[in-house]
């Protein structure tokens, strides 16, 4: 049961990463590249968790990878607030 849920999460996170990547292509805003990467990492991270088979979210590698993903989101937000406003909103 839990495995099915996790498998679904892998696919969902990967799909979200693709959507954000598309936003990145549309807007040229690197904010979306960072978000896309973060969700891609979520997908890989959860995939690895699944492959490891046992419930090992405390494992060093796994949590470091997860930290990296959230770190990217934080970087994206910080970056968004430092970058000059885009041409559109002048």
Partner 1 sequence: MPNDPLSPDVRRFVADVIRSVNELELLLLLREHQDRAWTPQEASARLYQSEGWVAGHLEALVVLGLAAREGAHDAPAYRYAPGDERTRRTIDALAEAFARRRTRVIALIYRPEPSSAERFADAFRLRRDDEDDA
Partner 2 sequence: MATAVYVLCAVASTACAVLLLRAHRRAPASLLLWSFGCFALLALNNVLLVVDLEVVPDTDLSALRAGSALAGLLLLLGGLIVDATGGQRRR
Binding site for partner 2 (CB under 8 A): 1-2, 5-6, 8-9, 12-13, 15-16, 19, 42, 46, 55, 57-58, 60, 63-64, 66-67, 70, 73-74, 77
CB neighbourhood size of 76 (10 A): 21
Residue ranges that bind partner 1, judged by CB under 8 A: 23, 26-27, 29, 31-32, 76-77, 80-81, 86, 88-90
Report, in Å, the least distance between residue 2 CB and partner 2.
5
Closest CB to partner 2 among 74 and 83?
Answer: 74
The C-alpha atoms of residue 36 and residue 56 are separated, in whole angstroms, by: 25
d(CA 54, CA 5): 14
CB 24 within 8 A of CB 59: no
Structure letter (DSSP) for residue 3: H
Q: Please give the structure tokens belonging to residue 52.
A: 């490891």
Please, what is the minimum distance in Å from the beta carbon of residue 3 to partner 2? 8
């Amino acid at each position: 049961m839990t495995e099915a849920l996790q498998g679904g999460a892998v696919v969902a996170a990967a799909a979200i990463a693709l959507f954000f990547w598309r936003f990145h292509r549309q807007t040229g805003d690197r904010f979306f590249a960072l978000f896309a990467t973060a969700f891609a990492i979520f997908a890989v991270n959860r995939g690895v968790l699944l492959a490891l088979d046992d419930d090992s979210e405390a494992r060093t590698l796994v949590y470091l990878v997860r930290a990296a993903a959230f770190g990217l989101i934080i970087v994206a937000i910080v970056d968004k607030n430092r970058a000059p406003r885009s041409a559109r909103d002048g």
